[in-house]
Amino acid sequence: MQYGGDVSSPSTDAPNAASLSVEAMLDDLRTLVEIESPSLDLDALRASAETLSAMIERLLGRPATLIDSPAGPHVHWSGGGDPRVLLLGHHDTVFPVGALAERPFAVADGHVTGPGVFDMLAGIVQALHGLATLDDLSGVELLFSADEEVGSAASRALIEERALACGAVLVLEPSADGGALKTGRKGCGTFEVVVRGRASHAGLDPEKGVNALVEVAHQVLAINELGRPEVGTTVTPTVANAGTADNVVPALGRIKVDVRVESADEKDRVEDAIAALRPVDPDSTIEVSGAINRPPMPESASTTLMPLAEAVAPGIEGYAVGGGSDGNFTAAIGVPTLDGLGAVGGGAHADHEFVVVATMPERARLIAGLVAQICAS
């Protein structure tokens, strides 16, 4: 689908600013935050999905559908008619049940805080309230997955199916710094390298052992050399461990590796290089698992949608970022995708996660305006 021509005069009714209430948005955000919805906690995710479904029906007038998966229920909603645009997000968060007791939902000094407010519950609330200002939602679909924070294995096929059906995707992930949109993303993935040696007594007969920790050190240095920052590729050993006691030659070691790439060629190169790792000590063995599971989101994916955002919110900026999202999947299959349309704030995945309250209505209007532009094109 192409979006060209006059992007400043959509035939769909423009969003009604007067109907947006910060207080109502904060009330709904509190409701979602206080459910607590950590990834892979199926009971918590069921409660979150049911609460979100009821909120959608209250605000948009049609019931949502819960789609069960091994990772928890995904929430899907359609405004009817021929699908034109998919609003994509996730209702799982990285915070365990109990985090709310330590950091309860709060509004103070212009910020709203609490587990998951920035990534990405406020983005969901803003989108729902923005859509509620439009008279006609035919062609609009919503999909909120249950497993984005753990790789989207149980939702990827559904995400790609609905993206292809709709032809355009607006991703409700948090904004970049200062409210900028995300026009591109690196592909990303995690690898694990398992090193096996042989235990022995470190004092009596260390020569009879095969030191997995020493082999881990060799492999960490080799892995670190795979990065090519000049082309945007980072290969970062992030976690390493080995050993069980201070007088035992370690028999087992593990390395976790974070990889970020900007191109499919670099994805293939790094995956091949990690798969080809071989032990320095021939008496040790290496096992490699993992992959770059989110392909790169090229900036070309957003070239038809970013001008629409600029027409709705003159002066808004957009640029490529390093982190991945479900927008990587939709962009990689050729569907126009614009990301970072969610909350303005900071501290994603951290204890100080926050959203700037004053920006919530303007982000809701941005979503409504974009949807109106796309559906009118």
pLDDT of residue 10: 34
159 vs 5, residue with greater confidence = 159
Q: How far, in Å, CA of 310 to CA of 180, rounded? A: 11
Q: Which residues pair with 237 in a beta bridge?
A: 257
Percentage above 70 pLDDT, the chain: 95
Dihedral sign (CA 273, 275, 278, 279):
positive
Mean pLDDT of 57-74: 98
Domains of the chain in start order, with CATH, are 17-186+297-376 (3.40.630.10), 187-294 (3.30.70.360)
pTM (two decimals): 0.88
Residue 90 · residue 149 · CB < 8 Å: yes
Whether residue 292 is predicted with pLDDT greater than 50 in this model: the reply is yes
Q: Are strands 111-113 and 106-108 parallel, antiparallel or unpaired?
A: antiparallel
Q: How far, in Å, CA of 156 to CA of 54, rounded? A: 24
pLDDT of residue 14: 44
